Amino acid sequence: MKLTKKSHACVRLEKDGRTLVLDPGSFTEEDAVLGADALLVTHEHPDHFDEGRLRAALDAHPATELWTLRSVAGQLAAAYPGRVHTVGDGDTFTAAGFDVEAHGELHAVIHPDIPRVTNVGFLVDGAVFHPGDALTVPGRPVDTLLLPVMAPWNKISEVIDYVREVKPRRAYDIHDALLTDLARPIYDRQIGALGGTDHQRLASGASVGL
């Protein structure tokens, strides 16, 4: 499997000539969905869900399908019958040849006065876990954790403890558009030293083989 990091929370996974794209939101490059065979969206916030980009991807390739939770699916399903699938915690499915499990139900707490929206994380091929905007522990071994490092709803101690609890073999940063380059060495050092795993950061557009 090939993993390509795109800006913020979006990643592209490629295997056997097919491409799966997770969370191509408004902070992500417009080409993030280019050639996608399948799309996964964790929740409705615009930095993860850009309706225009999803529609462009679905319009460009009639075989492209989308898997997401009800709050997002309801905005697109009528226009793309049979191609937009609603999933939730505990569901399993195959998307573009990738085996996917859905884990989690709610977005992390931003502030007690702000209602929590739904959020679902995706474990792909039993190896790569994208939690969306939550520190969901999937309850099974994870080889590669896509780690939300900077958000209005988290702090670095929680991120470190999350890595410790999931115990992945490696962790790559996502949800990092709000993190300035000046602060990155602090996060790299502390998460790497205290998280207990191989913690790495990929520049947007960079790829690794898994």
Asked if 186 and 162 count as a contact pair (C-beta separation under 8 A), the reply is: no
pTM here is 0.96
Q: What percent of the chain has pLDDT over 90?
A: 99
Cα gap 75→85, rounded to integer Å:
12
pLDDT tens digits, one per residue of 86-111 = 999 999 999 999 999 999 999 999 99
Strand-pair partners of 150: none
Q: Which tens digit of pLDDT belongs to each residue from 8-59?
A: 999 999 999 999 999 999 999 999 999 999 999 999 999 999 999 999 999 9
- Residue 163 pLDDT: 97
Q: DSSP class of residue 139?
A: S
Confidence (pLDDT) at 27: 96
**All structural domains of the chain:** 2-209 (3.60.15.10)
Residue 38 is predicted with a pLDDT of: 98
By CB atoms closer than 10 A (0-12, 13-18, 19+), residue 127 is middle
Mean pLDDT over residues 144-154, rounded? Answer: 97
Distances 30 to 33, 50, 53, 183 between C-alpha atoms, Å = 7, 10, 7, 26
Report the SS3 class of residue 147: strand
Cβ-Cβ contacts under 8 Å for 81 (sequence gap 6 or more): none
Nearest-5° angle of CA 53, CA 2, CA 59?
25
Q: Which amino acid is at 198?
A: D
What is the band of 189 on the pLDDT scale with cuts at 50, 70, 90?
very high
β-bridge partners, 85:
67
Predicted confidence (pLDDT) per residue in 35-45, tens digit: 999 999 999 99
